[in-house]
Amino acid sequence: MTRNPRKTKALSLALFILMVVGCSQVALAEDYNHAMPMLRMGVGARALGMGGAYIAVANNAAAGYWNPAGLSQVEKWSFSSMIAANMSEDRKYNYLAIAGKFNFGALGFSWLNSGTSEIDKYSDVGVANGSFDANDHAFLFSYGNMMDKLMFGMNFKVVYQKIDDYSKSGVGFDAGVKYIVDDKANIAVVAQDLGTKVGKAVPATFRVGIAVFPVEGFTIPLDIEKVQHRSEIKLRAGAEYSYQFATDYWAAVRGGVNDGEFTIGAGLKVAARYGLDYAYISEAGDAFGENHRISLSIDW
């Protein structure tokens, strides 16, 4: 009986997925406030509008965050950005990324920043003593390449945290693979924050994802996420419909579910090069509520 090489590769990757998920089921008994939560908030209004299910979709500069393997699909140069609006507690969250394609593969750089300003400061006896700021930064240096239909990539990550007079820095790694099953489906596996530490260890995050493209214009992704030291497994799912309404103009509508929280979004693409996207999301926890993400992307 003749073996189908495509099915053999897909089976091998599926076994690898099962191994990753199995290995991630460790240290479930203890939970705590995880370091650098910014690293797990997600980037890009397109991705977040689909519930954050994106590791098997990402194919531009934003892949540096979601799955560096997807950088290998950048045609020449790609730029991605995001700002967050209406965040509670005077918080901010910003993101910039750029990626380029070369003979030896694709290279990318991403910057993430989150923080809160003018936090009230008190002395040991409870007397008001001015205010201070808190900021987190992450710098991702990414590489991605492709062998036939199998893509692979990794990030070297530098993280920096400053809270008033306290500051700490550290490094870590991400790794991902993405496989094009056919023109109707991709599957992917990502491991983030391997060995990342800023004062205390940042928990590793493992994701398994699939994206299907049933008919022209539709994208339907699904991700499963497991964070180290947490017992729950998170499910993210979404859908996008993109429609060309005029020469060189496309509009998209999106919706999704991010671990039980609904998201919606929309986007406009011009000349298959310039993209403007919006997402309305609800953050985990009642204290943080709902806010908005706005992204600009350019591919050339």
CATH number of the domain bearing residue 15: 2.40.160.60
Dihedral Cα 278, 283, 287, 290, nearest 10 deg: 30
Q: Looking at residue 129, what is its pLDDT?
A: 72
Residue 31 reports pLDDT greater than 70: no
Q: List the one residue out of 177, 188, 182, 184 whose CA is nearest residue 212.
A: 184
With contact defined as beta carbons under 8 Å apart, do 271 and 53 qualify? no
Query: Which pTM value belongs to this model?
Result: 0.85
Taking only Cα atoms into account, the Rg of the chain, rounded to an integer number of angstroms, comes to: 20
Please name every residue paired with 130 in a beta bridge, in sequence order, or none if there are none: none
Q: How confident is the model at residue 85 (pLDDT cuts 50, 70, 90)?
A: confident
CA neighbor of 192 nearest in space, from 161, 223, 215: 223
Residue 117's pLDDT band (boundaries 50, 70, 90)? confident
Neighbours of 50 (CB within 10 A): 32
**Are 269 and 275 in contact, with CB atoms under 8 Å apart?**
yes
Lowest average pLDDT, out of 19-28, 65-74, 225-234, goes to 19-28
Rounded to an integer, what distance in angstroms lies between the CA atom of residue 295 and that of residue 162? 26
Residue 235: the pLDDT is 96
Domain, as residue range, for 52:
5-299
Total domains in the chain come to 1
Give residue 97's pLDDT.
98
